[in-house]
Chains A and B, each alone.
Chain A
Amino acid sequence: MNLITPEVVSAHNLTGEEYARIVKLMGREPTFVELGIFSVMWSEHCSYKSSRVHLKRLPTRNERVVVPPGENAGVVDVGDGWCAAFKVESHNHPSFIEPFQGAATGVGGILRDIFTMGARPIAAMNSIRFGTLDHERHGRRNRALLAGVVAGIAHYGNAFGVPTIGGEVMFDDAYALNPLVNAFALGLVRRDQIFYGRAVGVGNPVLYVGAKTGRDGIHGATMASAEFDDEALEKRPTVQVGDPFLEKLLLEACLEVMRSGAVAGIQDMGAAGLTSSSCEMAARAGTGLEIDLTLVPQREQGMSAYEIMLSESQERMLIVAHKGRERQVVDIFKHWELDAVVIGRVTDTGRVQIMHHEGTVADIPVGYLTDEAPIYERPMRAPETRDEGSRVRDEEAALINEAVGVSSVPETPTLSDTVEGSEELDSILSAAKSPVNASDADHNESFLKLLAAPNIASKEWVYRQYDHMVRTNTAVLPGADAAIVRIKETRRALAMCLDGNGRYSAADPREGARQIVAEAARNVVCVGARPLAVTNCLNFPSPERPEVMWSFSETIDGMAEACLAFDTPVISGNVSFYNETEGHGILPTPVIGMVGIIEDVRRIIQPGFKTEGDLIALLGETHDDLSVSEYAATVEGRTTGEMLRAGRLARLDLKLEQAVQSACLQAADEGLLRSAHDCADGGFSVALAESCFSTLNRPSTGATVELTGALPVAAQLFAETPSRIIVSFDEAARARVEEIAAGLGCPISVIGRAGGTELRITVDGQPAISQRVGELETHWRAAFGQRLQAEALAAAAE
């Protein structure tokens, strides 16, 4: 018998107060199994105890939302009786400990969340972040982590048979000791065939289906709720091993058994395994469950009740069947060569009662684990910035803004450190200004550097390893602003993208959140889709630090504001706290998964210029937004810390953003646009180059563009001002496109033409960039893979 000592309590990541609360609720000391159950159900990962009070402020509903947050995945109506179920989830901690399996099981978990709803997964994406590839000390490890994570994602998604069609790969040293792996999946389900994780129907049998239970992953959920330290790498046994083959069988068996009508409720055994699936199913239905652990299929002998309840073995589900239909469920799973065993029944007690050889090992009112779980309003504190440095900086910024016609100054403080000493202040002030005296040669050189920067260079090396075409729905290949899968049974298609920007969020969490929502919506609009709904993955350091909690709260408010503006409710998501190692936190990194709808697949727009002689126009306007940018990092060589101290983030005008997106969509709907591409990392010139590069069945093309205005040349070329889209169209469409833009209040300037073999940009009549497109493209395509070839060979050989 295990004695519960303060050390045991602390080893379960429960505080003394939390333990006291358990004893008070229960009216007695919990058993060891009960302690394990409380610890995972009350963990940050399962209970959202630090984030819940804030998450309430997000919009979660509109007329298209069928299932709001709270289930395994959110669901929106996409027309003709079809619905899309989607969600993004983090698997950061396991991926750092064991990149291949950590990433693989992250994909497996999110796929189960989707097919638990009754939806067949038809698309996957992922957003991954690492330390920089060339880092002096950690470069080798960062490259190995990237190679391992990519191989793990490929291993699972490819074998399962879901196309991995998009995502993002970003680098910053803030992620060196804590990489981020966020996996997204989307599935299709008929509106009348959605399933829920609810243990309904007193007396209904509870079936355990899928893989056998082993000792792997015990306490994965509590691990994911603690900071890393030196011992973290010894936690390898808490990372599970995934089997995509088994998951594929589980998918087919689950969908078949759902069609059979035998299923009353179904839930994935994800984090905290049997514990969370049983407790959550009972909690949602307001029922109780009685489970006999001796009946659970086990991979190993002599497993204790504690181990069975907390195991995170993969590829398992809990099914509540309609009474009398057990046989049918078992037969269908047998056909797919999987276990399906009745292990208990639904009761009206409102308690989770767990039996094992020794008798009842746990007996807990379900509400204690869910409703009564602690909720924290953690202290929040904005970083101190009202110091001399930032005051002067604001004044300086205001002057610069006045010169370029921007009136708004952000009111929110930034995460920058206190600045001391006038010398540093001087250097900061000069850094805040853009270099205005760079020569043409410099601009060409800057441009080449940016195209080869890992955050910008083609990610072909990554997505070539993912099967992105299986299921024959992929209408736009990876590399566009958003990925697209058509819905076979209709004329419609779904566009989707993942976007985050830790740099922006660190500079100003509220503004950063507004901008990533806006960028995600813009990306979807650029392929001709109307934004529908959002899923989010909120990656932050420890919530126990007031500055982190403040940035989290700010993020929620910024996200809520932008999601309301675009009418894109947040229908699912995940919070990942404690992303820090040895006291070094990551940048606050909210990631947005945006899904949009295209009513007619023939109206899909892509980034590439299509026809020689087409006019090129910019929707939106460029400002002097260089100080927090890829340019500042790559060309000026600033560290993120320097950028955050010296820089200020551009401010997004939601009205302008909506005007730009509406203009683009309307022109696309009327069939006027030949191409559309968002200006993002690296600014206008990088976006223009990407529109020139070749894609499948489309050769590369040149472009000649003339920019004018009062801005420094570098800002014209590389500033990351939001709310800009580069479009192209036939000369004959010009009048109508300009009319649409004017009608919606969207600034538009026709700036050049597609054609030739060179990319030429002149600013105020002076040549700024002149390069052969073919050479640029080779440079951009090769940069990423060249840095990784050695690691890839090592990972593959493993």
Chain B
Amino acid sequence: MKFGVIVFPGSNCDHDAYHVISKHVGQPVSFIWHREIDLAEYDALIIPGGFSYGDYLRAGALASFSPVMSSVREFAGRGGLVLGICNGFQILCESGLLPGALIRNRDLHFVCEHVRVRVECADTPFTNELKRGQILSMPVAHAEGNYVCDDETLRELQSEDRIIFRYCDADGRATPEANPNGARDHIAGICNRERNVVGLMPHPERACEDLLGSSDGRGLFHSLAATLAAAAS
């Protein structure tokens, strides 16, 4: 199996994602420059955090028009696995691969801290090694992480079990206090209808070692690797 980490000008969590895949998941991984269009050799793509194209105009807006994103759309259309983290989540929403949008945080400034999220759905290739209701500790670091969508989209996400993570407190309760950015319905991560594209605001790649405060992010990457291994065998 082969992972690809997409690099836009301004991506800055690309090295972190690469490090986790190569060191902690132990799988082959390459960087994919935003002008590349041939994604044939990859089994899973990670769109990392950062400030693609400086996040000018709107976070993720310019990146959605980059050459590589056309190929990512095709890749996802063929059922390829795509994980968008933070800026990657914003890019997926701007690209139309995921519904809704991420707007300025409730209290208007950048927030960087460890938060907790509750696993709402273990039925995706990214969470199948996790348990529904499990609480994960992961950092967030963003200024635009406040998930919004219209009522109909929200009903769809809820009824189709596509809300993957919600912000919660230590006891697993989704409360406004535990929600770092004001996201609607405390949404921290969602998937597309086909369940092969997931976006989330927290950084699982920053939570893969106890030294850094949490190893809870590993579950996502192990799920991904297990899914790919099963598909290959």
Which A residues contact B (CB, under 8 angstroms)? 151, 154, 158-161, 243-246, 248-249, 336-337, 463-472, 474-475, 477, 486, 488, 601, 696-697, 792-793, 796-797
Query: Is B12 part of the contact surface with A, judged by Cβ < 8 Å?
Result: yes
Q: Is the CB of B213 within 8 A of A472?
A: no
Which 8 pairs between the two chains have the least Cβ-Cβ distance?
A161-B12, A245-B54, A796-B108, A159-B51, A467-B141, A472-B16, A465-B110, A467-B112
- Subset of 9 A-B contacts with CB under 8 Å: A159-B55, A465-B111, A467-B112, A471-B16, A472-B20, A472-B208, A697-B137, A796-B108, A796-B109
In the bound assembly, the distance between CA atoms of A245 and B51 in angstroms comes to 7
List the A side residues contacting B16 at CB < 8 Å: 470-472
Q: Is the CB of B12 within 8 A of A248?
A: yes
Interface size class of B (residues with CB under 8 A): 35 or more
Q: Say how far B207's CB is from chain A's closest CB, in angstroms.
A: 9
Closest to A473 in B: B212
In the bound assembly, the distance between CA atoms of A465 and B113 in angstroms comes to 9
List the B side residues contacting A243 at CB < 8 Å: 54
Q: Tell which of A244, A249, A475 touches B211, judged by Cβ atoms closer than 8 Å.
A: A475
In the bound assembly, the distance between CA atoms of A154 and B213 in angstroms comes to 22
Other CB < 8 Å A-B pairs besides A245-B55, A336-B9, A464-B110, 17 of them?
A: A154-B109, A158-B51, A158-B141, A161-B12, A244-B51, A245-B9, A245-B54, A464-B111, A467-B112, A470-B49, A470-B141, A471-B15, A472-B209, A601-B211, A696-B114, A796-B109, A797-B108
Query: Is B88 part of the contact surface with A, judged by Cβ < 8 Å?
Result: no
Tally of contacts, chain A with chain B, CB under 8 A: 95
Query: Is B94 part of the contact surface with A, judged by Cβ < 8 Å?
Result: no
Q: Is the CB of B54 within 8 A of A469?
A: no
Closest to B108 in A: A796
Q: Is the CB of A151 within 8 A of B213?
A: no
Chain B, 11-70, CB within 8 A of any chain A CB = 12-13, 15-16, 19-20, 49-51, 53-56
Closest to B54 in A: A245
Q: Say how far A739's CB is from chain B's closest CB, in angstroms.
A: 31
In the bound assembly, the distance between CA atoms of A154 and B142 in angstroms comes to 11
With A465-B112, A797-B108 as contacts: A245 and B19 at CB distance below 8 Å: no
Query: Is B150 part of the contact surface with A, judged by Cβ < 8 Å?
Result: no
In the bound assembly, the distance between CA atoms of A466 and B141 in angstroms comes to 8
Q: Is the CB of A245 within 8 A of B10?
A: yes
Q: Is the CB of A469 within 8 A of B51?
A: no
Q: Is the CB of A472 within 8 A of B19?
A: yes
List the B side residues contacting A151 at CB < 8 Å: 109
List the B side residues contacting A160 at CB < 8 Å: 12
Q: Is the CB of B212 within 8 A of A469?
A: yes
Q: Is the CB of A469 within 8 A of B139?
A: yes
Q: Is the CB of A159 within 8 A of B112?
A: no
List the A side residues contacting B55 at CB < 8 Å: 159, 245
List the B side residues contacting A601 at CB < 8 Å: 211
List the A side residues contacting B53 at CB < 8 Å: 245
In the bound assembly, the distance between CA atoms of A793 and B49 in angstroms comes to 25
Query: What sequence of 0s and 1s flags, for each residue 197-233 of chain B, a beta carbon within 8 Å of any chain A beta carbon?
Result: 0000001011011011110000000000000000000
Q: Is the CB of B110 within 8 A of A154?
A: yes
Query: Is B194 part of the contact surface with A, judged by Cβ < 8 Å?
Result: no
List the A side residues contacting B107 at CB < 8 Å: 792-793
Q: Say how far A468's CB is from chain B's closest CB, in angstroms.
A: 6
Q: Is the CB of B10 within 8 A of A465?
A: no
Q: Is the CB of A469 within 8 A of B112?
A: yes
